[in-house]
Structure 1
Amino acid sequence: MTTLRPGVREAYLVRRKLTVSGEQAAARDCAEALDALPGINSVTLTGNRLTLSYDATVANLDALEQAINDFGLGVKRRGLAGIRFGYYRFVDQNIRDNATHEPWCCHRLPPNVKK
């Protein structure tokens, strides 16, 4: 089990690997800035790869990409990396939707259906 920061729930914890392009000094500064954002559990920079671990109900992949772009870095979105980024976005949205969903019993009508 990993150590979680306050505000990060283990049930919604995801780990994403993003390849960034730009200067190494800017990438280090970006990793430190991302590490301070709410919902982020950990940020690791290895070469040109950022490994982010965050609560998908609190942090948003698009907002993280915008924060990375603000440091003058780019996120690789071509080829397989683009497919992976789209998949990450889909899964994160699914986690957010499921976190707010209210389950209902199969022996009753759903709450939004009237008799």
Structure 2
Amino acid sequence: MSDKQHHKAGVNENSLMIRHLRLEGPVDDNHQLIVQEIDQLLGVDAVSINASESLLNVAYDATKRQLDEIEEIVRKYKCDIAHDWWTHFKEGYYKFVDQNVKDNASHEPWSCHKRPPGR
């Protein structure tokens, strides 16, 4: 048997990011709509909102999705990422790591032990 976890189609486990961000706004009223729309995106493995704590939990493939796209959906429903210092810090770090994963996925490795092209 395999020990690998099963992920949704289009999700690569090597680039799976798990994020937790606090939300502001009418989270109680709109959390189900936000979850439904984010869950339909290609590359999103799991999403949930703990409405009592206003906490967004999302797992996605960073080569296919970026945090900005998820935040747009949250804002569409009149909510936003919390503006406290810690949430802002985590959001910036998450975006930095996501961009790194995306850039590295498209980078072709180079080695000095390979023959030069054309030889």
TM-score, length of structure 1 as denominator length? 0.88
Match for residue 97 of structure 1 among 91, 99, 103: 103
SS where residue 14 of structure 1 aligns? strand
Structure 2 residue 73 is matched with structure 1 residue 70: no
Deviation at 1:50, TM superposition (A): 0.9
Deviation at 1:18, TM superposition (A): 1.2
Deviation at 1:45, TM superposition (A): 1.3
Match for residue 25 of structure 2 among 22, 26, 38: 22
Q: Is contact 1:27–1:73 with CA below 8 Å preserved after alignment?
A: no
Q: How does 1:2-21 map to 2 (within 5 A)?
A: 2-21=5-24
SS where residue 47 of structure 2 aligns? strand
Q: Which runs of 5+ in 2 are unaligned?
A: none
TM-score, length of structure 2 as denominator length? 0.85
Percent sequence identity is: 34
Runs of 4+ in 1 over 4 A off after TM superposition: 108-111
Q: Which runs of 5+ in 1 are unaligned?
A: none
2:20 and 2:115 map into 1 onto residues whose CA distance is: 42
Structure 2 residue 87 is matched with structure 1 residue 81: yes
2:11 and 2:36 map into 1 onto residues whose CA distance is: 18
1:61 and 1:41 map into 2 onto residues whose CA distance is: 14
1:55 and 1:11 map into 2 onto residues whose CA distance is: 8
Q: Deviations over 1:23-70 (max 9, x none)?
A: 212122111111111110000111310100000010111111111100
Worse-superposed segment, 93-102 or 24-33? 24-33
